[in-house]
A and B are shown apart, each in its own frame.
Chain A
Amino acid sequence: MTTSSPRSRVSLFWISLAVITALYLLFILAMLGATAAYTTPHHWLRALGSREIRYSVGLSLATCTATALLSLLLAVPVGYLLSRGRFRGKEALDAALDIPIVLPPMVVGLCLLILFQTPFGRAIERLVPFTYTVAGVVLAQFVIGAAFAVRTMHGTFDHLSSRPEDVAMTLGCSRGRAVWLVTIPAARRGMFAAASIAWARSLGEFGPILVFAGATRMKTEVLPTTVWLELSVGNLEAAVAVSLLMVALAMLVLVAVRLAGERV
């Protein structure tokens, strides 16, 4: 027989897709497995016992949490505007809000550094110093994390019908109150996903932080900075141990987002 039946053609099609997916997954697992095998629990505990690394773990957790909350505060109103608003220039605004996502991370850091050298930036610095400070770490994380949170909230509001909000308005709510009482509670899973994505993205942020907030030990050192500092002095074991910690935290966020259900 020269031609295969539709059934066997379909099978071949699905088998090919499964093989491609399996190879990709295998590559990811091989990367992580090789990194994990490179270190021992002893190295790991010793690295995490170091005062500098404990500081960087604490600072990473604190700044990522602050960034996630700030990103959510921005992403909810902006995501709602993009989803429900009807105005001229909406598509241009939508594209402009993706700029932080497509900019090279180092460039984001450089842009921040230059912004805070302008008269406007200096005026802000007099109130809250950002350059080479912990506030600068949060700001550098926020620029990129918030853009991802806005994308997520935009998608969340797109999936929620505006009808319940309309009904709430006919029952006596203003638009704002209808959003607060009806839409925001319905968007809670999307809000959790947006905050988690901003948190996870901030955890891995390195370029903008290095340029804008610096890499000063026990001051603006976060986990990616630690990996870079340890690598630069040839302490590969500590760099691997910290990398594995970041992998574990990222996995935790991934599982949490999946469990909460990213789709609303």
Chain B
Amino acid sequence: MIQLENICWRAGSFQLAGISLVVPARSYAVLMGRTGCGKTTLLEIICGLRRPEAGGVRIGDRDVTRDPPGERGIGYVPQDGALFPTMIVRDQIGFALRLRRRSATEIQQRVQELARQLGVDHLLDRLPHNLSGGERQRVALGRALAAKPSVLLLDEPLSALDEELRDDLAVLLKSIHRELQVTALHITHNGREAAQLADVLFRLDGGQVRESSLPAGSS
């Protein structure tokens, strides 16, 4: 579960005031809103990359408001993947496990397992600049999932992809979510994407979040 309680944040004239939302455990939530309405800021507050002026963040039954990003048990996939420019795919996916000092065998097994699942097992020795947009997002997803986080946060992960790739990756996201049973919060401004993925739909508008009904034909 992800819970935001009265989150307030301000930068210049832009502000988020008293935002509350609950993403039920193991559900796939989609947060929609226009560009510049504060979706990414909200995600960064959940990640711990921005500190709210007031309010609290709970993940599962823990209050993580003051925890550093790395101790929140989250996996984060930013818009452009933000892969580490000098690391090959194998090292990107194994990064979180190396930080946790897991054995080389365990890291290798987990990397292979995720790479197979995400269809990037033939790319393990490539650098990010030799990957296509879709491959980058798959690797970013593998990197985020390697340490088995309880929560997956996705910031417009499909926005830079063409329509066909977008559909493929949406199917992959849904199957990974079902298989790993993580709580996911996915932000987008694309209605079709929301319809494909959302179990729960939120809209951020005018600095307020409200739960919205799922579009017709949603999964």
Of the A-B pairs whose beta carbons lie under 8 Å apart in the complex, a sample of 12, sorted by A's number, is A164-B85, A167-B144, A168-B95, A169-B68, A171-B70, A171-B96, A171-B99, A171-B143, A171-B144, A174-B70, A185-B84, A186-B86
- B49's partner among A160, A161, A170, A177 (CB-CB below 8 A) is A170
- A177 to B47 Cα, complex, angstroms: 17
User: Does the CB pair B49–A172 fall under 8 Å?
Assistant: no
Contacting residue for B68 out of A167, A174, A182, A185, CB 8 A: A174
A residues sitting closer than 8 Å to B (CB atoms) are 160-161, 163-164, 166-174, 177, 181-182, 185-186, 188
Closest 9 CB pairs of A and B: A163-B82, A172-B70, A171-B96, A172-B99, A185-B86, A170-B76, A186-B85, A169-B69, A170-B69
Q: Could you tell me if B99 and A170 are in contact, using CB atoms closer than 8 angstroms?
A: no
Q: Which of A160, A164, A173 sits near B99, CB closer than 8 Å?
A: A173
Shortest B89–chain A CB gap in Å is: 14
List residues of chain A with CB within 8 A of the CB of B100: 172
CB < 8 Å: which of B80, B83, B147 contacts A172?
B147
Tell me, in angstroms, the Cα distance from A167 to B145 when the chains sit together.
12
In angstroms, Cα B85 to Cα A161, docked, is: 10
**Residue-wise interface mask of B (44-59) relative to A, using a CB-CB cutoff of 8 A (1 in contact, 0 not):** 1001110000000000
Residues in B whose Cβ lies below 8 Å from that of A161: 80, 82
Residues of chain A within 8 A (CB-CB) of B147 are 171-172
B169 interface residue, CB < 8 Å from A?
Answer: no
- Is B75 engaged at the interface, CB distance under 8 Å to the other chain? yes
Given contacts A167-B84, A172-B71, 12 further A-B contacts (CB under 8 A): A163-B82, A164-B84, A164-B85, A166-B49, A167-B76, A168-B95, A169-B68, A170-B48, A170-B144, A171-B99, A185-B85, A188-B86
Q: How far is the CA of A161 from the CA of B128 in the complex (A)?
A: 14
Q: Which of A164, A169, A182, A188 contacts B70 (CB 8 A)?
A: A169
**Taking the complex as formed, is B78 at the interface, i.e. its CB lies under 8 A from any CB of chain A?**
yes
Closest to A161 in B: B82
* Per-residue interface assignment for chain B, residues 61 to 75, with 1 indicating a CB less than 8 Å from any chain A CB and 0 otherwise: 000000011111011
Most buried by B among A160, A166, A171, A182: A171
**B residues in contact with A167, CB < 8 Å:** 76, 78, 82, 84, 140, 143-144
In B71-118, which residues have CB < 8 Å from any A CB?
71-72, 74-76, 78, 80, 82-87, 95-96, 99-100
From known contacts A169-B68, A170-B48, infer whether A164 and B95 are also in contact, taking CB-CB under 8 Å. Answer: no
A170 — which chain B residues lie within 8 A by C-beta? 47-49, 69-70, 72, 74-76, 144
Q: How far is the CB of A245 from chain B (nearest CB, A)?
A: 36
Q: A181 vs B100: C-alpha distance in the bound complex, in angstroms?
A: 14
Complex-state Cα separation, A185 to B70, whole angstroms: 21
Smallest distance from the beta carbon of B208 to chain A beta carbons, Å? 26
Task: Please give the distance in Å from A175's CB to the nearest CB on chain B.
Answer: 9
Residues of chain B from 118 to 147 with CB closer than 8 A to chain A in the complex? 140, 143-144, 147
**A202-B84 Cα distance, complex, nearest whole Å:** 34
Q: With the chains together, A247 CA to B69 CA distance in Å?
A: 51
Among residues of A, the one whose C-beta sits closest to the C-beta of B95 is A171
Q: How far is the CA of A132 from the CA of B84 in the complex (A)?
A: 47
Could you say which residues of chain B place their CB within 8 Å of the CB of A185?
84-87
Question: What is the bound-complex CA distance between A173 and B87, given in angstroms?
Answer: 16
Q: Is the CB of B72 within 8 A of A168?
A: no
State A186–B76 Cα separation when bound (angstroms). Answer: 21
- Residue in chain A with minimal CB distance to B78: A163
A240 vs B49: C-alpha distance in the bound complex, in angstroms? 58
Chain A residues with CB below 8 A from B84, complex form: 164, 167-168, 181-182, 185-186
